[in-house]
Structure formats: C-alpha cells, structure tokens
Structure 1
Amino acid sequence: MLDPKLVEFLTSRSKKAATTDVHTEVKTENPKQEIESGDTAMVTESPVEEAKQAQQEVKMPLEPKKEWVNMDTVEKEKMEWMQEVPKPKPGEKKIGIQARFDLQGHVISRDADVPMREGLHHHGEEPEAPGYTLEELFHLSRSAAMNQRVISLQTLAKVIYNYRIDNLGGRLGAPLIPRLIDAGLVFILRWSLDDSSEAGIAAAVDGFKSLLVQPADEECIDKVFPWYRGHEMHPLVPTENDDEDDEDDPEDKDDKNKHETELLEQDVIKGLLKMKFLERIRYILEVCRPAPTVVVNIIQVLTRIARHSPESCHEIMKCPRLMNTLFSAFLPTTWKLTDGSVMENIYGYPVRPVLKLIRVICSAGRNMAAILLTKYNLMSVIVRYTTQDPTDMQLQIGEAYMLSVEAFYTWKVCISYGLASNSISELYPVLMQHLQLFQRLSVLPRPASEGKSTQALYELQLMRSAAVVGLLEMAVHVGATVADLQSQQSMRPQEDEKKTESQPIPSIDWSHVTGLITPVELCCQRWMTEITRTDEPLTDCALTLATSCLNFIVAFYTKITQQPLYNAVDVLQHIEKLVENLLVPFMKSGNFYTYVINLRTYSSYKEDESVMSMKTGCKSLPDLRCHPLDERQHPCIQEHSPFGFMAAYIRLVYIWSKMHKGIAAKFSALIESCYVTSYLEKTCQSMRSAGETLNRHFSRFEHIVLYYIVKFTSKWPSRQKVVTSTLNCTTVLR
C-alpha cells in the first residue's frame, strides 16, 4: 500500500505539469510579434489574454456528445487542424520567395483559389499556400510512406520536364537543373532506385529520364541522320574551362580518386557511373522486369549515357550481363504472334529503342562495333529486321517500320567501319528488289482525301526507302577503298606488317556496287521530275528520300574516278545526259527558288536569336537544346528547312562541274541568283559566332552549303560581286 501523502503529492504534481503544458502549447501557437527597434517595445495585450481570445475565435468543427466514448475531454489544440485553411492575405507576395508547384509540375500562385480536395495543401510552414516547394518535395522523397515518396518523385520529374520545354507557367530566378544537382537530386534518385516497390523504381527512373534526357534531342538527331555526314555525332561531354595550370595536374585527371559529389559538379554522367548505376539498371531489367514504360525510360537513359563519350559506351559494354539481357530480352530473332494491340509485357519482343542504343554504341568506335557483331551476333538481328517486310512482322505497323529503319541505320554505321560488308553481297538480290520497288513511290504530297493513318504509313515507307539508299551509299564508300587498301598492303614490307596491325580489307569491292547506280538514278530522275513540276511544299520524309538519292550519286561519281576501269568518255557523256534531264530543269522550277529563299529564312545566322539562346541544361550535363515544338527548334532542322537537300544538290553540281569543265556554265543561275547573293552577304554581315560546340551540331549543315557555294563560285572570276561575298564567307568559315 502506498502512503496517502505520497499519492496526494504525485496527484498535485501531475496537475501542475498539465497546466504548464497547456500554457506552453498556447504560447507556441501564437503568431510572432514584430518588435520595433528602439529602447522599449510596446505590448497592447498580455499573452494570456491573447491565448483566451484565440481559443474563443476557434470554431469547433463538431460538438462532442456525452454518449460518445472517451470524448469527455475536448482537445481544442488538436482540433484546430480540422479547421478551414485561411486564405492568403493580399499583399503577401514577395520577390525572391520559393516557387510552389502543383502535382503536374507547373508553377502555382500562392494566392490561387485551389480546392482542398486537390491535395495541394499540407501541414508545412505555409499551410494556407497551395503547392509544394522543391525543399518540401525533397523532404517527402525520403518519407517512410511509399505513396509520398512516389508522388514527390513524380512531381520533381514533371517539374524538370516542364522546365526543359519552357512550360513551367512562370519564371524562376535562377537555373533550375544546376540548383537541383547541387541540392543532391542525383543522390535522392539513386537512393530511390534501390526501392523494393515497383512504383518507387518507376518514379526514380522517370526522374532520371527527366534529368538526363532533353526532350526531342534524339528525334532531331534521327532527322539529320540520312543527311550528308549526319551519322556523325559530337560527344555530349562537358566542356572544360579550367585554367591551364589545372590541366597539367595529373591528379585532376584521375576520376577514380574523386568522390561522387566532386564528380557530379564536373560531370553528372561520370558521377552517376561511379554510383554503380549500370549494375542496378541491369538488375531491374533482368530480375524486376518492369512495365514497358519503365523499360523504354531506362533505355533512353542508357542512350543518353552512351552519347556522353566512348568511355561511357565502354562502361555499358563491360557491365556484367547487361548486354546479354538487352539482346536476349529485347532483340530476339523469333517472337510470338501478336494482334497488333498495345502489349503489357515487351519481354521477348523487338524494342526499337534498344536497337538504337546498340547503334549509338557502335558509333562510339570500331572496336565496340566489332564486339557487338562477333560476340552478340548483331548481324543476325539486323538481317532479321531488314529482310522481312514490316507488314509481315506481326507487330504494330508503325513500330515495325521504325524497327526496320533503325536496323538499316545500325547496318550503315557498321558498314562505315568496313564491318558486316559481306552481308551486302549476300543480300544483294534483296537490296536490288528494294530499289526496284522504290520506283513506284512518289514524293508528291498525298491527297487530302486520304486518312491520317494512310498518310502516316506512306511517310514510314519513304523513311525506310531513304534508310536503304543511305546504306547503299556507305557501301559505295567502302567498296571504293578496297583497291587502295590492297595496293597499300602490297607495297608495305613484310617486316612492317608484323609490327603494325593492318586494316582488314572489306569483303566487297567496286564490282559489287557498280550495278546499284542505274536503279538509283532512275528513282532520282522520277522524284526530281516530280519536284520540278509541282509548287507544293514536300514533306520532310519526301525531301529526305530525294536527298539520300542525291548523296548516293555524289558518292558514286566521287569514287568512280579512282577506280582502275574508269572510262572517262563514257562517264562524261552520261553526266551530260543527267545534267540535262536532272539538274537543269530543277533550277528553272519554283521549288528551286523556294529552297534558295529558305536558305536565308532558316539560317542559323539570322538576327532572331531567341531559339539559339534557349538554355535548359548546365555545364555538367550538356544537351542539344532541342524542343518538341518545331518553331522552337534550331533553324537548320525546322520543318521545310532546305539545308539537307541543298547540301546534296550543290555538292552534286560541284562534283560534276569538277569532272566535266564544259557543264559549269549551265549552273550560272545558281550563283547569279539575287537570293544566293543576298544570303551570302547577310551571312558575312552577321557578327554572331557559330555558337557553342554542341550547338554547332546542326549549324554544320549550313556550313556545308556555304562551303560548296564558295568552292563553286570561286571558279567564276567575272562575277565580282559574288566573288567578294564568297571571299568574305571564306573568312567567316575559317
């Protein structure tokens, strides 16, 4: 039994503690009072009176009843959270406050009238303001509740995506992506990638895609791939602007000894690779087997990493079981039949983004392309996707055509190294059959009576045709070098051959590609005639097909003079006929003048620099600044841009004029055109530089046009005005 005095003492002590707690809570809930600067501060009411007044103003959301169990004690402090959130007072807007975002990643006003059911109000520092700040989203991303983690990561991903496409709905005071990287977003996403739930992994992958991938970058790179030297890509590596003294320090060049934080400040991709990112991605693809959307996002992230540098491609190649998983799961040669509907599981079916990733890795170097061909049997995959008609692949028709186009692109990259050339001779009948079928195609716009699906299917056929011609163009370059390689190896002493590895000779020679020129010229004559006779603008796919044919003809006649069996008389007579039937009629057409005028309209040297000045990335994570909207693209690759086609046309004019001196006068209209002269003068007067290194990736196609115009017009000394402009342009290009 306890002593009654002890019980009384404990009871009185507990009552005092309860009274003290109540007063403490009331004090902490009072609003902060502003204290005027001076010797004394005037207080109108005591804290106790203010607390009583606040309690009286609180309206109870419900009145407790006596019959309710354990509801005899009313806790007003806790029930205050059930009250309506007060509306922000007018005049609370300040400059420099933290931006708030809704769940779709758009900036939301602090005094916006948003219903409570939208889920944008929370118990933060400002419960009356809707939306979440970046700090609050970072905090929620480490929450113990899975739903909160997923929602915060999804919102962050949408915020970054909207920022990249300039669709936030408001302006920020500082660049967003560098601030997020400095705040540790990469670490948060990497930690979230280790989540055990599918929703958490999907949200983390979506965040990585939004952070690393600039929307429309890959689409623009694919658009210029069929153009002259369009398959060449500058690595997306951060540019070094350090001092020369730092470059001489060998410790700075050793990235292995640097911490992830230091690497992320310099290069996000290098820092990410050091976090064992590829190993986790391989585990997700191989073991977790996520949904199709997550798989495609992962492949896009891997493609961006491969675009970084050949070293990053090598890291992807040597990651254990990653390449095996990609080939076995997403690049099969046999698969089950489908009804063409959307698939819920893409494992065991061809996935075009995976084949594109393989193409990007092949573009990084000949050694990696050779490994993919020998170790992973890449050529069997390419043959499977190129020989069968897309309509018979038992896939979605659009996906089947794009898969075939991507296979031809990958084959072209391998052929450029002299690899997989034996397949050209093996599949020669199939390729010739393709060329014969192309003669039935037309580059004229389809009639408006046709449905959108029919027009889209026809555009895909044109894209596939251009990919086939581009492959054959590269085969011409390879076949023309065989004679030179054989002569070089025969002249080299045997002792030197043992010391140095000689380049292997391709399995195709000039005899394998000589027969390709006739069907290509027939197709080109048909399409150039259609372009000459119409004044309607062509679609980009149709113009790309005509561009591919012109590039093939240029490559053939550039290499034919180097062959042992070159017959100059027959070739020059044939060139005269082609000039009369192919080039001269086009120079008198309305489309020719339209393309010449558009050289200035879509020039990257024009006065409007709004598109060129758009910067959404950061130094440690460069991009090409592409935009989903066509009017926000780089001018040289916008819709109806003539630079791809005009580069091929002017190159052909220059090559034939160089081979046949007598036909040069027939192209005087090209250099006498007032539009060409004004374009050259405007380009020379432009004081704006060509831009940063990565921004020149698309400007280089305009530089090619300018180069060949300068080369061609330099042969006309009587045209003083044009020669002066070309000399100025030569200075600019230097």
Structure 2
Amino acid sequence: MAAVTDSPAAGRLPAPAPEVGEDQAMEQLERVKDQLPIDLAEARKWPHMDHVEPEKLLWMTQLPAPKVEHGQTGFVARFDFEGALLPFAAAPPAHSALYHHGQEPGRAGYTVDELFRLIRSAAQQQRARPPDAGQRTAQVCLDRVLGWSRGLEQPSLPTSVDTEPDTDRQYQAEEPGLKDGDVTRLDAVRGLVRIDTLPRLRYILEVLRPSPPAVISAVRLLTRCCRHSLQLASEVAACPRLLHTLVTAFLPVCGAAPLEGCENVAQLSSVYGVPLHHVVRLLRVLAVQSAQLAGRLVRQHPVLPALLSYVAINPSESGMPTQEVLTLAVEAYRLWTVLLSYGLGDSHFIEFFPLLVRQLHFYLAAVSVNEAAETNRHNHDLATCLLALCRAAVCAAWSNHQTELLNRAGADMTAPGRCAGVTWPACWSR
C-alpha cells in the first residue's frame, strides 16, 4: 500500500497496532479521515466496499517527515529503483513506489537488505525490480569512485564460475558438453552471450531500429556483458558490426542534436543520430578491461573526435537539456581519461588544453564546493572528471618520458608496471 499524497510532509505508511478492535479503529479513522483519498461514505458505494475495514484504511494515512535524532551521526543508505542514493529526508511522489512498511517508515527508498528480501517475494513484479535496482546501484557506486586515485581500476563482476579456481577449471572442462540452459543457470550473463545475444542485438539496433527505451536497455545489457569479464568484453568487441553500429548511430561527431523539447532521450521518438551517454559508458567499461581493447576501439572507430565534441558542447546552444549535456560530458571525460591512462589520445589533450584551462577557471570561479551536493552534483562531477583527466595526462607524459629514457639505456619495457613513478596493473601494460 503506497502513501496517497505528494505533499512534502508525506512519508511512509504507519503500521497499525496488530490487535486493534473495529470500534477503536473506527475512532482512530475518524480523526485522520481527512488524510484518506476518498470519503468513507463514498467508499461504501463502490462494489465490494460495503463493509469498510478501518484497520486497513489506517495504513493509507500519512507519517510526518523523518527527523534526525539528537546525537545521531549515521544513517542506513536507501536507494531508488534507478540506483540513486536518496537524501535522508527525500520525499518523492507517492506513485514512485518507494514507500513501504519496512524499517524507518518515515524515509523513502529501499536498503540493500530490503532489496534482497524483495527478490524472494512471491509476486513476480516485486522479484523483477530489485536485481535491476541492485545493478544500477552498483553502477552508481562504481562511477562515484572514478575520480579517486585508483578509481579507473574498475572491478569485473563475474560469478563464482569465474572467481573460484576449482569451479572455473571444472566449468572449462565441462562447458562444451553443457546445454544452454545449464550454462544460463550457472551464469546468466555468460548464458546470454552463448545463445548469440550479441549478433541478435546488433541486428535489432542496425536493422529494426527500435524505440529509445529498447535501445537504452540493449546498451545497458551490453555494458553488463563487458563488465562481466575480459573474455565477454572481448566477445562484445569482436562481434561483427556491433561497435560500428553503436558508434555510427549513437555517437555523432557533434553535440547539437535537438531533443524536441523532451526532458531526456528516452522520451524521443528516435535516438538515432543523437549522442547517448549510455553508449559512451559502454565503451568506457569495455576499454577498462584491457589496453588491447582500448587501442582497437580508438583505431577502428572515430571515438576521440566524438568525445572532443561532447566536452566542448555549450549547453545553452546545444538544443539539449542541460542535465543531458552535462551527463554526456561527464561520460566523455571519463572515457578520455581511461584512454589517456593507456597513452591514447594524448595529442588531442594538447590541442584541447586551452579549452580545458578555461573550464578549470570557470569551475574555480563559479562552482562552490560548499553548496548542496544534489543541486550542484553535475558540476561537481564535471570538475572531478576534469581534474582526473589532467592527472591522467600528466601520468601519461611522465610515462612516455621515462619510456624514452629507458629505451635509450636499453632497458626492457615489456614487463608491466616498469614506468618509473607510475605503477600500472598488468592488464594496463601496453
């Protein structure tokens, strides 16, 4: 049962006492009847509503907004179904389905434990929401650490088949004889790739040209495949015409793609020819897996020119919503940073350096770190990404300089992590 008002004071639904008599419940209901969505006399006229159950109607009343207790310093994190971390006193509308009879009934959202409990629900629709929310929550958390010192070292998200050596060896030995259903039960992502999901998605995107929600869902599925492991990321990169279709259709080398007055790309009639930050994120997750995949991406597709056009977009002149432009620029900076960490795109950094300096001056003068994080989140994210890009460029320049010195001295540069002053993971070595 969801709350029935969109007022800021609306909260979760109170759980009535378990042993309340009908007369007592009716007295309580009379005191809060103004909070109900329908008059009691009118409710009795509805089919099968001739007998009013006051103890159940009490669940449709309001709770006051949550308050911070004196001395309380920490709170349990709560997320919405998009994976976003909700503020403590968030008051989303009633139709958001974020109100339920869990712990802390005055707060919106679901804790990780509550999401796992929903997975075991007997209702299929309830079971379907938590995995998607959990995946997006993980995506948000992983994106948040990208500006950290070693934030680019993103983890893969395999199953126990890949992470446990004994299980992995047994699977490799038995995999040729396993049926598709057996593989899917062991690893859903690997099972999807095995049943030719990648060429099917390429056909859908290239030939059928589906609606924007379908395109975004397909890109998210591909992103999850790339995050699974280096093996599956390589299969995504090797799928004929898949990356070509994505880059050609959804990463145009321009930023002036009008969104017809829509608030986001999912509301468009078509997203073909419109830059999608979802695709930029997909390429970033793919490139993080190995230097070989990143190099192939840059050599075979016009990725860098597209990224440069996105970071140079003026939101007021792009014809796109400001939030969409900023999200696109954030993802473009993140992918460019990954490429720079491999020594790719350094010449483009030198060409764009004057623009980057102007952007740094803008953030220094116009963006305050003391303002509310939620209202200024995209500006803070952009400033963080810009600093991370500069750091990656400095590391790349230092690495190239040390490489030249060691080459002159005849040192062996084939071993990973040999660049003085920079310790690279083995999978990042060139």
| TM-score, structure 1 as length reference | 0.38
Q: CA shift at 1:286, angstroms?
A: 1.7
Do structure 1's residue 166 and structure 2's residue 86 form an aligned pair? Answer: no
Rate the CA distance shift 1:116–1:445 in 2: closer, same or farther, 3 A. farther
Q: Which residue matches 1:653? A: none
- Residues 245 and 433 of structure 1: CA distance in aligned 2, closer, same or farther (over 3 Å): closer
2:311 matched to 1:386?
yes
2:154 maps to 233
CA contact (8 A) 1:209 1:301 kept: no
CA distance in 2 between counterparts of 1:338 and 1:481 reads 42
1:431-482 alpha-carbon deviations (Å, 9 max, x no partner):
12122222213435448xxxx9xx73x4322221211111001111111222
Match of 2:60 in 1: none
Percent identity for Structure 1 against Structure 2: 24
State the partner residue of 2:140.
219
Q: 1:116 to 1:476 in 2, by over 3 A?
A: farther
The 5-angstrom pairing of residues 407-446 of structure 1 reads: 407-446=332-371
1:352-371 mapped onto 2 (5 Å cutoff): 352-371=277-296
Tell me which of 472, 476, 494 is aligned to 2:394: 476
Matches within 5 A, 1:473-622: 473-492=391-410
> For 2:275 and 2:247, how far apart are their aligned partners in 1?
9
Distance in 1 (alpha carbons) for counterparts of 2:118 and 2:129: 23
Q: 2:184 aligns with which of 258, 264, 272?
A: 264
Give, in angstroms, the shift of residue 317 of structure 1.
Answer: 1.0
> Equivalents in 2 of 1:287, 1:166: separation in Å?
41
Partner residue, 2:298: 373
Give the structure 2 partner of residue 299 of structure 1.
219
Deviation at 1:318, TM superposition (A): 1.3
Q: 2 CA distance for matches of 1:371 and 1:339?
A: 35
SS at match of 1:408: helix
1:12 matched to which residue of 2? none
Is the Cα contact below 8 Å between 2:315 and 2:325 reproduced in 1? yes
Letter of the structure 2 residue corresponding to residue 426 of structure 1:
E
Q: 1:464 aligns with which of 367, 374, 382?
A: 382
Alpha-carbon shift at residue 338 of structure 1 (Å): 4.1
Q: Which residue of 1 aligns with 2:18?
A: none
Relative distance call for 1:261 and 1:211 in structure 2 (3 A) is: farther
Distance 1:257 1:281 in 2: 26
> CA distance change for structure 1 residues 254 and 311 in 2, over 3 Å: closer, same or farther?
farther
- State the alpha-carbon separation in 2 of the partners of residues 467 and 477 from structure 1: 15
Q: Which residue of 2 aligns with 1:350?
A: 275
In structure 2, do the counterparts of structure 1 residues 276 and 170 end up closer, same or farther at CA, with 3 Å as the change threshold?
closer
Q: 1:212 to 1:366 in 2, by over 3 A?
A: farther
Would you say the 8 A contact 2:252–2:275 is kept in 1?
yes
1:318 maps onto 2:266 in alignment? no
Contact 1:386 1:407 (C-alpha < 8 Å) held by counterparts: yes
- The residue that corresponds to 1:187 in the other structure is none
Matched residues in 1 for 2:119 and 2:218: separation?
30
| CA 1:252–1:367: 2 relative to 1, 3 Å | closer
Q: Give 1:323 shift.
A: 1.0
1:327 and 2:252 correspond? no
CA distance in 2, matches of 1:444, 1:241: 42
Whether the 8 Å contact between 1:209 and 1:298 is mirrored in structure 2 is no
Whether the 8 Å CA contact 1:212–1:304 is kept in 2: the answer is no
Amino acid at match of 2:336: W
Indicate the SS of the match to 1:214: helix
Q: Aligned pair in 2 of structure 1 residues 261, 169: CA closer, same or farther (>3 Å)? A: closer
Distance 2:134 2:209 in 1: 22
Amino acid aligned to 1:320: P
User: SS at the partner of 1:273?
Assistant: helix
Give the alignment's TM-score, normalised by structure 2. 0.62
What's the CA shift string for 1:599-647, capped at 9, x where partnerless?
A: xxxxxxxxxxxxxxxxxxxxxxxxxxxxxxxxxxxxxxxxxxxxxxxxx
Q: Distance in 2 between matches of 1:244 and 1:439?
A: 49
For residue 238 of structure 1, what is the amino acid of its counterpart?
A: T
Name the CA shift for 1:116/1:316 in 2 (closer, same or farther; >3 Å): farther
Q: 1:13 corresponds to which residue?
A: none
Counterpart-to-counterpart distance in 1, 2:165 and 2:227: 27
Name the SS for the 1:353 alignment partner.
Answer: helix
**Structure 1's 168 and 468: CA in aligned 2 closer, same or farther, altered over 3 A?**
closer
Preserved CA contact (<8 Å) 1:282 1:322: yes
- Structure with larger Rg: 1
Calculate the aligned-residue CA RMSD, in Å.
Answer: 4.0
Distance in 1 (alpha carbons) for counterparts of 2:130 and 2:283: 18
2:104 paired residue number: none
Gaps of 5+ in 2: 1-45, 49-109, 423-430
Counterpart in the other structure of 1:688: none
Q: Is the 8 A contact 2:216 2:278 kept in 1?
A: yes
Q: Could you tell me how far apart the structure 2 residues matched to 1:469 and 1:243 are?
A: 37
CA distance in 1, matches of 2:382, 2:345: 20
**8 A contact 2:315–2:321 mirrored in 1:** no
What SS does structure 1 have at the residue aligned with 2:136? coil
User: Unpaired runs of 5+ in structure 1?
Assistant: 1-114, 118-161, 181-206, 507-557, 561-734
Matched with 2:329 is 404
* Structure 1 residue 491, shift from structure 2 partner: 2.2
How far does residue 559 in structure 1 lie from its aligned partner after superposition?
5.6
Shift of 1:321: 1.6
What is the aligned partner in structure 1 of residue 79 from structure 2? none
Within a 5 Å distance, the mapping from 1:107-122 to structure 2 comes to none
Report the CA distance shift for 1:276/1:208 in structure 2 as closer, same or farther (over 3 A): farther
Q: Which amino acid aligns with 1:226?
A: G
Distance (Å, rounded) in 2 between the aligned partners of 1:473 and 1:242: 32
Deviations 1:674-719 (A, max 9, x none): xxxxxxxxxxxxxxxxxxxxxxxxxxxxxxxxxxxxxxxxxxxxxx
1-side partners of 2:167 and 2:286: how far apart?
A: 31
Paired letter, 1:231: L
| Structure-2 residue corresponding to 1:540 | none
Between the aligned partners of 2:414 and 2:118, the Cα distance in structure 1 is: 60
Q: 1:442 to 1:287 in 2, by over 3 A?
A: closer
1:116 to 1:169, Cα distance in 2 relative to 1, 3 A: farther
> Structure 2: how far apart are the matches of 1:365 and 1:273?
19
**What is the CA-CA distance between 1:169 and the residue it aligns to?**
8.8
On the 8 A contact 1:385/1:403 being kept in 2, the answer is: yes
Residue correspondence of structure 1 range 73-84 to structure 2 within 5 A: none
Alpha-carbon distance change, 559 to 319 in structure 1, aligned in 2, over 3 angstroms? closer
Size of the aligned set, in residue pairs, is 310
**Conserved in 2, the CA contact under 8 Å of 1:208 and 1:301?**
no
1:305 Cα deviation from its structure 2 partner: 1.1
**Partner of 1:567 in structure 2?**
none
Distance 1:167 1:434, change over 3 A: closer
Query: For 1:464 and 1:408, how far apart are their aligned partners in 2?
Result: 8
Structure 2 equivalent of residue 30 of structure 1: none
Partners in 1 of 2:137 and 2:163 — Cα distance? 31
Q: Equivalent residues in 2 for 1:44-63 (5 A)?
A: none
